[in-house]
């Protein structure tokens, strides 16, 4: 017997209010009515999976300017969707920079990945997979560009990395590592002074805003006795 259905789903992540958050929408129908699920839907007959998820995000949650999209995994457990009809899901990781606040409908909201509401189907597992993929890629690629605004201070970038990794990152070490890899460049400008005054902080940007592997064996390690999930 052939597969009865194929859907595409996206774990869209963004650092908001100091934490890594995921976009979810509340289901109105059974199965799992009123639970929160990842945006997506059925794969169209004439589109590939990436074109499908980009279309559905644009139609449903007004996320047209994703800074990065990549295929995450295929979820194919026969019973992942109750009701007797087997549905295979191709899941994607999507990233939105912190400088953008996407317009979302009333049934859609952002939730910290560390405090998810009751979720539909296997969507919590997909979110966990997306978070771990992002954390890994922050170690050996320049994917930080997809979380950051076009220009930023090192302090602000440290806050983004800390939120995405789940532990505090040293601003000095982060700047040293990313600069040694040739990922950052100074803009020559400074950020406006804060309420307390002080020396204006230098503004930086990523040299490239396209994904590339910078050090395939690098690992950003958490402080001793702490894990990425802490």
User: 119-153, pLDDT tens digit by residue?
Assistant: 999 999 999 999 999 999 999 999 999 999 999 99
CATH of the domain at 109: 3.90.79.10
Q: The domain containing residue 201 runs over which residues?
A: 139-206
Distance CA 91, CA 107 (A): 21
Residue linked to tokens 């302090």: 155
What's the chain's average pLDDT? 90
Q: Are residues 38 and 59 in the same domain?
A: yes
Check pLDDT > 60 for residue 229. no
User: 93-122, pLDDT tens digit by residue?
Assistant: 999 999 999 888 899 999 999 999 999 999
C-alpha closest to that of 71 among 54, 96, 46, 55: 54
Q: Are residues 31 and 82 in the same domain?
A: yes
User: 164-199, pLDDT tens digit by residue?
Assistant: 999 999 999 999 999 999 999 999 999 987 766 678
The mean pLDDT of 38-58, rounded to a whole number, is 92
Domain end, chosen from 100, 116, 138, is at 138
Q: Are residues 11 and 121 in the same domain?
A: yes
Tell me, yes or no, whether 214 lies in a domain. no
Number of domains within the chain: 2
Q: Are residues 124 and 173 in the same domain?
A: no
The mean pLDDT of 220-227, rounded to a whole number, is 56
CA atoms within 13 A on the CB side of 123: 27
Q: Are residues 106 and 117 in the same domain?
A: yes
pTM for the structure as a whole: 0.91
């Amino acid at each position: 017997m052939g597969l009865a259905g194929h859907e595409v789903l996206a774990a869209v992540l963004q650092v908001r209010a100091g934490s890594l958050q995921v976009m979810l929408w509340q289901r109105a129908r059974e199965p799992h009515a009123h639970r929160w699920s990842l945006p997506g839907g059925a794969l169209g007959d004439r589109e590939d999976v990436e074109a499908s998820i980009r279309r559905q995000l644009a139609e449903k949650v007004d996320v047209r300017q994703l800074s990065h999209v990549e295929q995450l995994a295929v979820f194919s457990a026969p019973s992942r969707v109750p009701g007797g009809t087997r549905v295979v899901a191709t899941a994607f990781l999507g990233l939105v920079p912190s400088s953008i606040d996407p317009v979302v409908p009333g049934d859609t909201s952002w939730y910290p990945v560390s405090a998810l509401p009751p979720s539909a189907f296997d969507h919590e597992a997909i979110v966990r997979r997306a978070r771990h993929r992002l954390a890994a890629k922050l170690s050996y690629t320049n994917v930080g560009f997809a979380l950051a605004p076009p220009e930023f201070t090192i302090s602000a970038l440290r806050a983004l990395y800390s939120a995405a990794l789940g532990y505090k990152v040293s601003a000095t070490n982060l700047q040293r590592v990313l600069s040694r890899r040739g990922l950052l460049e100074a803009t020559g400008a400074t950020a406006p002074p804060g309420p307390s005054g002080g020396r204006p902080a230098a503004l930086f940007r990523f040299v490239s805003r396209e994904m590339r592997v910078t050090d395939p064996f690098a690992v950003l390690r958490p402080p001793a006795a702490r894990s990425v999930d802490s």
